[in-house]
Every structure is written in C-alpha cells, then in structure tokens.
Amino acid sequence: MTMFGGLPRGFWWLWSSTLVNRLGTFVYPFLTLYLTLDRGFSATAAGLVVSCFGLGSVVGSLVGGELSDRLGRRVTMAGSYVVTAAVTAALAVTTQVAAIALLTFLFGAGSSAPRPALSAVISDLVGPEDRQRAFSLNYWAVNIGFGLSSVMAGFLVRADFVWIFIGDAATTLVCGLIAWLRIPETRPATKDAARDPASGPDAARGLGLVLRDSRLLALTAVAFGLWMLFHQGVTTLPVAMEAQGLSTQTYGLVISLNGLVVVLLQIPLTRWLAGRRYGRLLAGASVLFAAGFGVTAFAGSAALVYGLGVVIWTVGEMVFAPTSAAAVADLSPSHLRGRYQGVFGFGTAAASFAAPIAGGIVLDRADGTVLWAACAAVGLLAGCAFVVLRLDGSAATRQARREDVAERPPAADLRGTTGT
C-alpha cells in the first residue's frame, strides 16, 4: 500500500479542510504586530491580550472534546469554525481593550475546539494499523498550510491589516462548510447506555471516566513537557539569539528550517516509522528534543549551530506529534475519543501558554545556556517516562485494538457517507 492509498474518502475531506484552515492562519502570527502598530497597544498590553488566546485554547480543547462526544464530531467542527470566523471578523473592527481581550480569548477557544473532534474523526475512520500514517498526513497538511500562510499574510499586511482578518475569517468559514457538507458524522452509536457515558443520563460522568485513566494523564503530562520545549523554539529562541548579537532576520532563516524539514521529510519519515512500537518512537522523539535543544546550549553566536539544533528537534516533533495522537486514539474507548483527545489537547494548549512565561523567567534570572541545558534535561526525562509507560505491546492494548476493529463500521460505508 502506498503512503496515500487505502484511506477513506472522509479522511481526505478532513485533510483538505485542515489544509484550507492552515492556509488561512493569518491573524495569530501577526496579532502582536497588529495590536502594537495598528491599535497603539504597548508591548506589555499586547502580550497580555495575546496570552488570552492561549487561555482560550486551553478551554476550547476540553469543550471541543466534550461536545464531539455529546453532540457529534461534524456539528462540533462546523459550529466551531463558524463561530471562530465571526469572532475573527469582529476583532477587525473592535477598538476597546477589554472587548479585544475577550474576543481574543474566544478566538483561541474557537480555534482549538475543532481539534479533538478532528482527531476523533481520524480515529473513527481509520483502523489502528493506519492511524499513525493518517495523523502524519494531517500533520503534513498543517505545516504546508502554515508555511504558505505566513508568506501570504506578509503581503496582506502590507496592503492593510484588515485583510488578514478577512482572509482568516473566509478560510475558516470554508472549513465549516466542508465539515458540514462533506465530512461524515462518525460518532459511534450507543450500544449500551450503561457503558456509554457519551450520551444518556450518565453523560456528565464522561469526563470523570477519562480523568481516571492514569496512562492518559501520564501521557498528557509528559507531552506537556515536550511541547514546552517546542515553544521555546518560537518564543525564547529569538530573544536568546538576539542576546548573542544575531539579527531577527537570522532567526527567521533558522526557524524557517522547522517548516521546511517537516514539508520535505514527513512523508519519507512516516514510511520508515510504519509498524514500529509507539512507546519506542515517543522515547526516541524525546531524545531528539533533548539533543536539539542541548546543541543550542553550545551555539554561542554561530547561526549554523542554531540551525542544526532546529533540524534535530524538528525531526523529534515530526515523530512525536502524529505518534502521540495515535497513541491517545489507541488508549481511548470509541465512545470517549473526543474527550480523550480534548484532555490530551488541554496539555498541548497549556504548554503554549506556560512556555513563554517559563522561558522568560529563566532567561531573566540565568542565561540561554541554562535554559537550553534545562530543556535537554526535560527531554531526557520524558524519554525515560515513555519507556516506563509502555504505551503499546501489552495484552490490554492489543485487545483494545481488536475491539476497535470489531466496533468500527465497514470502511466502504464510511467512504460513501457525506453530511448532505
């Protein structure tokens, strides 16, 4: 089977919506510049407002996971995209500081809410043997779209800041239409209300059941640590490089290697990873994170060494992101997949909020060498944790996979299903 073969039609509509969504990611990367240059905010005020996006993302992950199991994957995605489009358009014309902060919070929540549902759809449509490949392809679409959107947003900003809001809102609305019209509703039908808290009188217990899964919580905690490292590369790395006398243009070239490596190597790397145990892959990815940021500790003012570090931890990111999502899908019962992905996404979103604060504190009180050494230590500890967790290979996991295959509708039924 080829890298692109054997996946249901519904997955490719989902993949297309992901690509469109990321192609229109205009507002968030330029939000700080918009607030300072166009609205006259101070750097501190702009930073506080942008932090509301991270807080919204944390809430949106949990809410999106809950809604995708209660109401359905398709309605959660479509509704979230439509609400986000409206909020984005409102941000373009709002001038009051409190209102902008509130809308930014809602923007973060709306942007994050579809992700658990999206991951749940992939888990529903694709069998355990192909999930890592499917999540890798979707992650590839994320990076292709985001890389191109950064270029397009630069041209839009030159014309007028309002165009980034219009473009972002328009592409988000298109995603909502794709989700409603073309992505199938895959939420499993309830077979036994007593064992399915996703619906019926026991619905409120669903999240409580998820939070009692110690392996999920451990995986989420370790993933939080690794995503804290990733965000150092996009928040504190430019500050550390500037302190070494390197220009912002140099940082731009160095960090552009992240997207370039993902776009070029995600597909061949996924072929190589196929069939390998998730636990070993996650441990290996953690070591790559540790090595990439550890190299940075010795970079000094050498831009090439910073670039080498980015390439190394990017490979770790490429292994970790789809593999961890597939591991969560394997851990979750079919009727709780949205909530499982929502709780896991909560850790990821929390890292995006906490990482800039933690990195800034370390840089202020120590220096870049201490920060990167600490990052390397966290990566190595995460690798050890994944070895202990043994996320696959157990009898319980093999049984869960067999039950997943038995409960999943035939692929032929799902391939021909649309939302119309």
Average pLDDT per block of 10 residues along the chain, 420 residues long: 82 95 88 85 82 92 94 95 96 92 95 95 92 93 87 83 93 95 86 44 65 93 95 86 86 87 91 86 96 94 94 96 93 92 93 86 85 95 93 48 51 38
Q: Is residue 200 part of a domain?
A: no
Q: What pLDDT score does 362 carry? A: 87
Given this model, what pLDDT does residue 393 score? 37
Give domain status of residue 201, yes or no.
no
So what's the pLDDT on residue 403? 54
**Three-state DSSP class for residue 297:** coil
| CATH label of the domain that carries residue 105 | 1.20.1250.20
**Residue 197 within a domain:** no
Q: Which domain holds residue 105?
A: 9-189+206-415
| Residue 1 maps to a domain | no
| Alpha carbon distance 268, 3 (integer Å) | 9
* Sign of the CA dihedral with 253 first, then 256, 258, and 263 last: negative
102 located within any domain? yes
Residue 420 lies in a domain: no
Six token digits for residue 272: 């190589």
What is the pLDDT, as a whole number, of residue 195? Answer: 45
Report pLDDT for 196.
46
Classify residue 154: in a domain, yes or no.
yes
pLDDT score at 406: 53
Domains of the chain: total:
1
The reply to whether 3 falls in a domain is no
Q: What is the pLDDT of residue 412?
A: 38
Q: How many CA atoms lie within 13 A of 221 on its CB side?
A: 11
d(CA 415, CA 143): 26
pLDDT computed for residue 32 by the predictor:
80
Q: Which H/E stretch holds residue 14?
A: helix 9-23
Q: How many CB atoms lie within 10 A of CB 204?
A: 10
How many residues comprise the chain? 420
Rounded to the nearest 10 degrees, what angle do helices 162-181 and 73-93 cross at? Answer: 160
Q: What is the pLDDT of residue 114?
A: 96
| pLDDT computed for residue 293 by the predictor | 96
pLDDT at 402: 52
